[in-house]
Amino acid sequence: MRAEILTVGSELLLGQIVDTNAAFIARHLAGIGLDLFHKVTVGDNQGRVAEAIRTALGRAQVVITTGGLGPTADDVTREAVAEAFGRDLVFVPELMEQVDAFFRARGLPSSPSNRKQAYIPAGAIPVENPLGTAPCFIVEEGDRSLAVLPGVPREMEYLLVTRVLPHVRERHGIQGTIVSRLVRVCGLGESRVGELLADFMTRGGNPTVGTMAHLGRVDVRIAAKGPDDASARTLIAPVEAAVRQRLGDVVYGTDGDTLEGVVAAGLEARALTLALVEAGTGGLVTERLTAGGAAARVRALVASPADAARTLGVEDGDSLAPRLAGAARAWAGAALGAAVVVGPPEGEGLSRAHDVAIAVRAQGPAGEWRHRLAGDAVQVRARAQVLALDGLRRALGALGR
Ligand code: ATP
Ligand code: MG
C-alpha cells in the first residue's frame, strides 16, 4: 500500500526551516510497512495545496499533510482540503469547545480568528489536539484516507503516533510491522564497514542490512518485517549478533546510544574523574560529555596547544598530546587524563588538512591516536571531537571494570 506526505509552508520552500516533519512521518510510515514514493512540499497557496492533495490521492491510499492549519490568513490547508474533495467546511461546536478550553486552561483569551479552526470539511473525522489549538482531522473517501495534521512538530508527532497511525492501520487492515535496530560504529569508514558486511548487505530477504554514514561514525541498520514487534525482533537478534562479531570493538552501542553517553556511563561505572585538555576543539568534547551526563566527572582546560603547554608546564612541540594528558591528570588530581590537540592547517584548497592527536593516560599510557583530517577547520573540529570521544571510550574499555 502506498502513502504520500504533503508538507505545507512557504517557509519550507524558502529554506528558512528544515522539513523535519516529513522525515519523522516517513520513518513511521516505513514502520508500518507502507511504501512511500513521493514527498511533496507546497507553499501557503490554497489552489496549489488542493492540487497537490488531488495528485497525492490519485497515486496513494494514505496521504498525510502537515502545516497550514493555524488561525491566520496564510493558513489555507483546511480550505484546500475542502476544495480538493468538493466538500463544504462545516462548523463543529465540539471543536470550538476544545479550542476555547485550550485557552481557558492557560488563562488566555481566544481570539475570533480561532473560530476558523473549528471548521472542517463535511464528513471529516475530527481529531482532538490536546497539545495545541489547531484541531486536525481525517477525511475518508472510497479506499483513500487523508490525515491533516498541524505543522508544529511536537503536536504533529504526538497526533501521528497516537491517533493517525492506529486509525490508518485499522482502516486499511495493516497488520505487519517493520522494526529497525541500529548498531552504532565509530572508528571505521563506511566503505570498510560495507566490505565487512557485504554478504549481509547483498543477501536481501528479511532482515535487511544497510549502512548510513555520519560525521566520523557509521550506523548499521538491521530492519526486519514481522507480524508484530516481538517476532521482528526475534529475526533481528541473530543478525545483530553476527554483525557485532564481524565488526568487533568499533561497535559502541545500539539505537539511542551516543558516544558521549557511553563515555559518561564508563566514567560513572568506574567512579573515575577525567582531566581533559582541549587544544583546538574549542570545548566541543566537554560540551558533548556534559550533554552525556558526565559534567561532574570532567575538569577541562580549553586553550591553544601553546597555551595549554605553558599552563600545564610541559614542553610544546612534537607529541604534545601525551604530555598534556599526563600533566592534566596530575594538575586536576584526576584518575584519567586526556588531551586532544588539533594542529594548524597544512596545505591549500582541497588538500588542506590538520594533524589531530589524541592521548589518554591512566596510571600509565592508556591510548594514543594520530589522524590527519582533511577539510575546513569547522569539519576538522567536528570530526576531532568524535575521535576524541571514541579514544576515551576505547581507553575506558581497555581499563576493564
Ligand atoms: P499553528 O496552529 O501553530 O499555526 P499550523 O498547522 O498552522 O500550526 P504552521 O503554521 O504551518 O502550522 O507551522 C507552525 C510551525 O511549525 C512553523 O513555524 C514551523 O516552525 C513548524 N513547522 C511547520 N511545518 C514544519 C515541517 N514540515 N517541519 C518542521 N517544522 C515545521
Ligand atoms: Mg500557522
Nearest atom in ligand 1 to the alpha carbon of residue 156 is 6
pLDDT tens digit sequence for 160-195: 999 999 999 999 998 888 889 999 999 999 999 999
List residues near ligand 1 (CB under 6 A).
Answer: 7, 9, 12, 17, 19-22, 66-70, 75, 132-134, 150-153
Q: Whose CA is nearest to atom 1 of ligand 1?
A: 70
Backbone torsions φ then ψ of 189, nearest 5 degrees: -70, 165
Q: Which ligand is nearest to the CA of 155?
A: 1
Residues flanking ion ligand 2, Cβ below 5 Å: 70, 75
pLDDT tens digit sequence for 81-135: 999 999 999 999 988 888 888 888 888 888 888 888 899 999 999 998 888 887 8
Q: Whose CA is nearest to atom 13 of ligand 1?
A: 151
pLDDT of residue 392: 97
Q: Which residues pair with 100 in a beta bridge?
A: none
pLDDT of residue 101: 87
Mean of the pLDDT values across residues 324-350?
A: 95
Ligand 2 centroid – CA 157 distance (Å)? 16
Q: Is the pLDDT of residue 324 over 70?
A: yes
**Long-range Cβ contact pairs of 227-233 (< 8 A, separation 24 or more):** 227/175, 227/176, 227/177, 228/177, 229/177, 229/179, 232/177, 232/178, 232/179, 233/179, 233/181
Ligand 2 centroid – CA 214 distance (Å)? 33
Q: Which ligand is nearest to the CA of 13?
A: 1
Ligand 1 centroid – CA 32 distance (Å)? 25
Rounded to two decimals, the pTM is 0.73
Ligand 1 centroid – CA 20 distance (Å)? 10
CB-side neighbour CA atoms (13 Å) of 375: 15
Mean pLDDT of the chain: 94
Residue 208 identity (one-letter amino acid): T
Q: What H or E segment, with its residue span, contains residue 22? A: helix 20-31
Percent of the chain with pLDDT over 70: 100
Ligand 2 centroid – CA 71 distance (Å)? 7
As a whole number of angstroms, the distance between CA 293 and CA 261 comes to 7
pLDDT of residue 111: 83
For a substitution probing ligand 1, which of 18, 111, 152 has the most ligand atoms within 8 Å of its CB? 152
Percent of the chain with pLDDT over 90: 79
Place of cell 558533548: 288
Q: Is the pLDDT of residue 31 over 90?
A: no
Nearest atom in ligand 1 to the alpha carbon of residue 19 is 28
